Structure 1
Amino acid sequence: MLRFKHLLFTICAVVFAVLSATAQTTRDSKRFEAIENEKVAYITKELNLSPNEAQHFFPLYNQYNKEMWELKSAKTGSSATPRGVNSLNGSGKRDILSYDSRELEIKKEYRKKFAEVIGNSRASEFFEIEQNFRELLYKELRRRNK
């Protein structure tokens, strides 16, 4: 019972932090917030994070998520090139491999940071859990579109 209260408190605290950090009024941003909240809850549950671990893990996760969003935006051409990426190849077109290489570097960097908080095995497992959540999201979207 006490563990459940801690988990519930942690999830509520993280949800509150995400909501207060991204308070926007458009319908799309509300949907995005709801998805992010579900993602945080899913990660917390799947990694079996204690309240203390969650308190230290999610600020790192938010930094990781921000860097990945910036990189993906740059890769699709909707923002400036992030540091560490040579965006143009010799022909003047975007060099997608540079973006992919930078994505791998970011993941390796954050796996080390995550490991300091939650251990090596769960830090490596995080990326699989993140992918699983994305797949669940795609399945739900396909189900709703039918």
Structure 2
Amino acid sequence: MSTDNRAIVRAAWRAFASHDAEQIAPVFTADAEWLAPAGNATAIALDGPSHMIGREAITHFLAQEFSRLFVDDVAVEFHGFYVDGDRVIVEETMSATLANGNTYRNDYCLIFELRDGLIHRVREYMDTARGHRAVFGEQATEPGDLSVR
């Protein structure tokens, strides 16, 4: 029997969208990692790391922290799921209303590395400049500042 890694990652996205820790945690290995570009707008706004290590840290972010910044109208438009062995590459556009009232829309490419049918590592790529403009406007900001600019 072969593993359908595309289906595993699609199911993980449904778990992420639930913001329910009990649905999210089981899709990751205990030692999972999620790596995003250093200094990305989400990490700065939430005063959090760009490299999360461990199932608990990732689950906490997706279940609790994510919705502090992306507060309404969160939608993901998938452009493709590409599978190469234990890697699934996802192209998507995410849009949302931010805590500061701004509209967020950004393109992402995520590489999911699976181990034994679970997500072991996620490498996330996005347009960091576009993200910063949406979250902070043209002005600089301090970590954790979600105020309207």
**TM-score, with length taken from structure 2:** 0.28
Q: Which has the larger radius of gyration?
A: 1
Greater strand proportion: 2
Specify which structure has the bigger relative contact order, considering alpha-carbon pairs within 8 angstroms and separated by 6 or more residues: 2
TM-score for both structures, normalised by structure 1? 0.28
